[in-house]
Amino acid sequence: MPTEEEYDRIINSRWPSSFIPIDSEQEARTGLKRLWRKATSFPFKGKIQIVSGNRKTWCRPQKGFRHSYYRRNPDGSVKWQNYCWVINLDATESRGSYAKHVSCWNGLVHAASHSCINEYYNRRMKPHGNEQLRLERDLTIYCVDKGFHLGSLKSK
Ligand SMILES: [Zn+2]
Protein backbone atom coordinates (compact mmCIF):
# COMPACT_ATOMS: atom_id res chain seq x y z
CA MET A 1 0.00 0.00 0.00
CA PRO A 2 1.51 3.36 -1.01
CA THR A 3 2.52 5.82 1.68
CA GLU A 4 1.39 9.44 1.67
CA GLU A 5 4.84 10.41 0.46
CA GLU A 6 4.53 8.04 -2.51
CA TYR A 7 1.04 9.28 -3.23
CA ASP A 8 2.30 12.88 -3.22
CA ARG A 9 5.17 12.00 -5.50
CA ILE A 10 3.26 9.80 -7.96
CA ILE A 11 -0.14 11.53 -8.08
CA ASN A 12 -0.26 14.95 -6.43
CA SER A 13 2.91 16.25 -8.05
CA ARG A 14 1.38 15.77 -11.51
CA TRP A 15 -1.43 18.21 -10.79
CA PRO A 16 -0.82 21.94 -11.02
CA SER A 17 -2.66 22.30 -7.69
CA SER A 18 -4.34 20.08 -5.11
CA PHE A 19 -7.89 21.22 -5.81
CA ILE A 20 -8.89 22.04 -9.37
CA PRO A 21 -12.61 22.78 -9.56
CA ILE A 22 -14.81 21.30 -12.28
CA ASP A 23 -16.44 24.31 -13.88
CA SER A 24 -19.64 22.81 -15.20
CA GLU A 25 -21.98 19.87 -15.06
CA GLN A 26 -21.34 19.20 -18.74
CA GLU A 27 -17.58 18.93 -18.22
CA ALA A 28 -18.08 16.65 -15.22
CA ARG A 29 -20.28 14.29 -17.27
CA THR A 30 -18.01 14.26 -20.29
CA GLY A 31 -14.87 13.96 -18.17
CA LEU A 32 -16.19 11.02 -16.20
CA LYS A 33 -17.14 9.17 -19.39
CA ARG A 34 -13.69 9.75 -20.87
CA LEU A 35 -11.96 8.56 -17.70
CA TRP A 36 -14.13 5.48 -17.54
CA ARG A 37 -13.44 4.62 -21.15
CA LYS A 38 -9.74 5.14 -20.64
CA ALA A 39 -9.68 2.87 -17.59
CA THR A 40 -11.94 0.06 -18.77
CA SER A 41 -11.77 0.48 -22.57
CA PHE A 42 -15.57 0.38 -22.69
CA PRO A 43 -18.07 3.24 -22.72
CA PHE A 44 -19.92 4.08 -19.51
CA LYS A 45 -23.54 3.04 -19.86
CA GLY A 46 -24.90 3.85 -16.43
CA LYS A 47 -26.49 6.99 -15.01
CA ILE A 48 -24.75 10.16 -13.94
CA GLN A 49 -26.41 12.26 -11.27
CA ILE A 50 -25.16 15.73 -10.36
CA VAL A 51 -25.77 16.53 -6.68
CA SER A 52 -25.00 19.22 -4.13
CA GLY A 53 -24.56 19.53 -0.36
CA ASN A 54 -22.44 17.07 1.57
CA ARG A 55 -22.80 14.05 -0.67
CA LYS A 56 -19.56 12.64 -1.90
CA THR A 57 -18.54 11.97 -5.45
CA TRP A 58 -18.82 8.25 -5.86
CA CYS A 59 -20.07 5.41 -8.01
CA ARG A 60 -22.89 3.40 -6.46
CA PRO A 61 -25.70 1.04 -7.49
CA GLN A 62 -28.76 2.72 -8.96
CA LYS A 63 -31.73 3.36 -6.68
CA GLY A 64 -33.49 0.16 -5.74
CA PHE A 65 -30.49 -2.10 -6.41
CA ARG A 66 -28.06 -3.50 -3.84
CA HIS A 67 -25.21 -4.12 -6.24
CA SER A 68 -23.79 -2.81 -9.43
CA TYR A 69 -21.53 -4.91 -11.55
CA TYR A 70 -19.71 -5.04 -14.79
CA ARG A 71 -18.40 -8.21 -16.33
CA ARG A 72 -16.35 -9.06 -19.36
CA ASN A 73 -17.66 -12.27 -20.87
CA PRO A 74 -15.28 -14.78 -22.46
CA ASP A 75 -16.64 -13.84 -25.90
CA GLY A 76 -15.53 -10.25 -25.33
CA SER A 77 -18.97 -8.81 -24.74
CA VAL A 78 -19.64 -6.75 -21.62
CA LYS A 79 -22.46 -7.05 -19.13
CA TRP A 80 -23.54 -3.90 -17.32
CA GLN A 81 -25.76 -3.60 -14.35
CA ASN A 82 -27.08 -0.66 -12.42
CA TYR A 83 -24.22 1.79 -12.25
CA CYS A 84 -24.91 5.30 -11.05
CA TRP A 85 -22.24 7.97 -10.73
CA VAL A 86 -22.98 10.65 -8.19
CA ILE A 87 -20.92 13.79 -8.79
CA ASN A 88 -21.03 16.67 -6.35
CA LEU A 89 -19.89 19.96 -7.82
CA ASP A 90 -20.35 21.89 -4.55
CA ALA A 91 -18.04 20.21 -2.10
CA THR A 92 -14.86 22.10 -1.38
CA GLU A 93 -13.13 20.09 1.29
CA SER A 94 -9.95 18.17 0.62
CA ARG A 95 -8.58 16.10 3.48
CA GLY A 96 -5.08 14.71 3.65
CA SER A 97 -2.94 14.02 0.65
CA TYR A 98 -5.46 11.73 -1.03
CA ALA A 99 -7.84 13.78 -3.13
CA LYS A 100 -10.63 12.19 -1.17
CA HIS A 101 -13.78 11.97 -3.18
CA VAL A 102 -14.22 15.71 -3.40
CA SER A 103 -15.59 17.40 -6.43
CA CYS A 104 -12.54 18.61 -8.19
CA TRP A 105 -10.70 17.03 -11.09
CA ASN A 106 -8.22 15.49 -8.65
CA GLY A 107 -11.10 13.94 -6.69
CA LEU A 108 -12.99 12.73 -9.74
CA VAL A 109 -9.89 10.94 -11.04
CA HIS A 110 -9.35 9.39 -7.62
CA ALA A 111 -12.97 8.22 -7.42
CA ALA A 112 -12.77 6.85 -10.97
CA SER A 113 -9.66 4.88 -10.03
CA HIS A 114 -11.62 3.28 -7.15
CA SER A 115 -14.53 2.44 -9.30
CA CYS A 116 -12.64 1.13 -12.34
CA ILE A 117 -9.91 -0.81 -10.58
CA ASN A 118 -11.72 -4.16 -10.59
CA GLU A 119 -12.70 -3.82 -14.23
CA TYR A 120 -9.20 -2.73 -15.19
CA TYR A 121 -7.58 -5.80 -13.66
CA ASN A 122 -10.60 -8.00 -14.24
CA ARG A 123 -10.61 -9.22 -10.64
CA ARG A 124 -11.25 -7.87 -7.18
CA MET A 125 -8.49 -5.56 -6.00
CA LYS A 126 -8.12 -3.93 -2.64
CA PRO A 127 -8.69 -0.18 -2.38
CA HIS A 128 -5.67 2.13 -2.18
CA GLY A 129 -3.27 -0.61 -3.18
CA ASN A 130 -0.38 -0.33 -5.59
CA GLU A 131 -2.58 -1.36 -8.52
CA GLN A 132 -5.00 1.45 -7.85
CA LEU A 133 -2.10 3.86 -7.56
CA ARG A 134 -0.94 2.80 -11.02
CA LEU A 135 -4.39 3.27 -12.50
CA GLU A 136 -4.85 6.64 -10.79
CA ARG A 137 -1.45 7.70 -12.09
CA ASP A 138 -2.41 6.76 -15.65
CA LEU A 139 -5.76 8.53 -15.38
CA THR A 140 -4.09 11.62 -13.89
CA ILE A 141 -1.61 11.79 -16.77
CA TYR A 142 -4.48 11.35 -19.23
CA CYS A 143 -6.61 14.08 -17.62
CA VAL A 144 -3.74 16.56 -17.33
CA ASP A 145 -2.33 15.88 -20.82
CA LYS A 146 -5.76 16.30 -22.41
CA GLY A 147 -6.34 19.48 -20.43
CA PHE A 148 -9.69 18.47 -18.91
CA HIS A 149 -8.87 20.85 -16.04
CA LEU A 150 -8.17 23.67 -18.52
CA GLY A 151 -11.57 23.58 -20.17
CA SER A 152 -10.81 21.24 -23.09
CA LEU A 153 -14.12 19.43 -22.58
CA LYS A 154 -16.33 22.52 -22.67
CA SER A 155 -18.93 22.18 -25.40
CA LYS A 156 -18.63 24.91 -27.94
ZN1 LIG B 1 -9.89 6.67 -1.91
Mean pLDDT of 27-31: 96
Distance 112 CA to ligand 1 centre (A): 10
70: CB partners within 8 A, 6+ apart:
40, 78, 79, 80, 81, 83, 118, 119
Q: Is the pLDDT of residue 122 over 80?
A: no
The pLDDT-based confidence of 36 (bands split at 50, 70, 90) is very high
pLDDT digits (tens, 9 = 90+) for 57-87: 888 888 877 776 666 778 877 666 788 999 9
Examine the pLDDT at 93 and tell me if it is beyond 60: no
Averaged pLDDT score across all residues of the chain: 85
105 Cα to the center of ligand 1, angstroms: 14
Q: Cα of 75 to ligand 1 centre, how many Å? A: 32
